[in-house]
């Protein structure tokens, strides 16, 4: 069964950077569109960035200019490079296809931005 596994979260201070990874159990390019989502406590899960098989990317306004999404076919891994982190970026981050497929949701990785 195809799986996506997130990693790389942690506790950082405001203004710092972090890189998240999403490793696929199959060819990462077999997914036409892959995205990063996040969920803050008490809120709905939201799409913050996605990448299309041709390399085109799209970002939510809240992360545009600070986050960068990419894929490495050799490692079957998608990344989310996060810079200039803010306390409001604190959330559990997930990867999935866009639109998401239910059984591909993983455990996510916690990102906490706090001084």
Beta strands per DSSP E along 1-115:
4-7, 10-12, 18-24, 33-39, 46-52, 57-59, 67-72, 77-82, 91-97, 109-113
What is the rounded CA–CA span in Å between residue 28 and residue 13?
31
- If you ran DSSP here, which 8-state letter would residue 82 be given? E
Mean pLDDT of 87-107: 96
Q: According to the model, what pLDDT value does residue 97 have?
A: 96
Confidence label for 4 from pLDDT (cuts 50, 70 and 90): very high
Other beta carbons within 10 Å of 90 = 17
pLDDT band per the 50, 70, 90 thresholds, residue 30: confident
User: How is 89-115 classified by DSSP, letter by letter?
Assistant: G-EEEEEEESS--GGG----EEEEE--
User: How much is the average pLDDT of 101-111?
Assistant: 96
Q: What is the pLDDT of residues 70-94, one digit of tens each?
A: 999 999 999 999 999 999 999 999 9
């Amino acid at each position: 069964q195809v799986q996506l596994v997130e990693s790389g979260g942690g506790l950082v201070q405001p203004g710092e950077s972090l890189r998240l990874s999403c490793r696929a159990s199959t060819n990462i390019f077999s997914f036409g569109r892959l995205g990063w989502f996040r969920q803050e406590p008490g809120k709905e899960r939201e799409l913050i960035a996605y990448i299309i098989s041709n390399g085109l990317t799209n970002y939510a306004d809240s992360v545009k200019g600070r986050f960068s999404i990419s894929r490495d076919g050799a490692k079957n891994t998608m990344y989310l490079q996060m810079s200039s982190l803010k306390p409001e970026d604190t959330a559990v981050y997930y990867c999935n296809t866009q639109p998401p497929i239910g059984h591909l949701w993983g455990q996510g990785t916690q990102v906490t931005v706090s001084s």
